[in-house]
Amino acid sequence: MKTIGKLAQSLNLNVETIRFYEREGLITQPTKPISGYRQYDETIAGQLRFITKAKMLGFTLKEIKSLMSMDNDCAKVELLSRQKLAIIREKISDLQRLEKVIVDMTNTCIQNDDPTYCPIIDALK
Amino acid sequence: MKTIGKLAQSLNLNVETIRFYEREGLITQPTKPISGYRQYDETIAGQLRFITKAKMLGFTLKEIKSLMSMDNDCAKVELLSRQKLAIIREKISDLQRLEKVIVDMTNTCIQNDDPTYCPIIDALK
DNA sequence: ATTGACTCTGTACTTATGTACGGAGTTTAG
DNA sequence: CTAAACTCCGTACATAAGTACAGAGTCAAT
């Protein structure tokens, strides 16, 4: 059993972040003995690692809470993952379109000798 | 000359948004006659269109303010665009990596017959 | 037993980009 | 002339995901 500071250190999280996750109902309540200091066991450490990994995959805290409550209902989990996948793919193609527009714009700059005129600014007008 | 409501309507913007941009110093101050009602000319409409387009390219309001103050210094504008481009490209490859991880995870779900176990949840633990 | 480090709760602040609202003044249509 | 519609300003609220702080209590080491 660890106090919040030790737990935070071992997981490389901020103490406030752990308390925030508790307030948000993402982790189960740790036992609190007489003193009032939270005591964390390995279960909660595991939940926090789960949250961290899911966050890296682009899930929001809200979705992660949902994922955790689905427990092991694979069909539901798969659906949520596929939805996330669709969003990620959409973001990728949005960004690729942007990329092309900006590349085109900056290329027109290169051939420009007039210091008082910018084709990018012009394109945006 | 238009009042704020007409301008907002013609640009498909919210009245509050225009005032917000004014507070943030993104557009020049409109003239205000005796009554106190702002009167907008075509110059400001143009600035607002510029902001809208630049926003679509992924520039933040802060960057847009910066872009506008560079006026036509093409070298500076090009630099900012290239920086934005680098960020967009980084985001794309981040997302592509995520995409792969999620695809792999969801694929393992398909071959799973056990309703009490989910490989995705397992992968996140 | 004291000091420093740690933790508690509750609240406020952060960033970015707006939106909404209250109460007052103005303009316009009928 | 009156009522509806519009505008003003200043402030608060919204989202997401935390971070910071104040004031009080507790624990561990010397």
Residues A44 and A90 grouped into a single domain: no
* Token pair listed for B116: 């009490």
Residues A78 and A41 grouped into a single domain: no
Residues A51 and A80 grouped into a single domain: no
Distance CA A69, CA A28 (A): 11
Query: Are A99 and B85 in contact, with CB atoms under 8 Å apart?
Result: yes
Residues B3 and B50 grouped into a single domain: yes
* Token pair listed for B5: 């409501």
Nucleotide nearest to A9 in CA–C1' terms: C6
Residues B38 and B78 grouped into a single domain: no
Q: Indicate the average pLDDT of chain B.
A: 93
Where does residue B64 rank: exposed (0-12), middle (13-18), buried (19+ CB within 10 A)? buried
Complex prediction ipTM: 0.83
Most confident of A22-31, A73-82, B3-12: B3-12
Per the structure, the count of domains in chain B is 2
- Tell me if A86 is assigned to some domain: yes
| In chain B, % of residues over pLDDT 70 | 100
Distance from CA(B115) to C1'(C7), angstroms, rounded = 42
Domain range for B10 = 1-57
Report residue B4's pLDDT band, with 50, 70 and 90 as the boundaries: very high
Distance from CA(A10) to C1'(D23), angstroms, rounded = 28
pLDDT value, residue B35? 85
- Tell me if A34 is assigned to some domain: yes
Q: How many CB pairs under 8 A join A and B?
A: 128
pLDDT value, residue B72? 82
Report residue B7's pLDDT band, with 50, 70 and 90 as the boundaries: very high
Residues B47 and B84 grouped into a single domain: no
CB < 8 Å to A115, chain B:
72-75
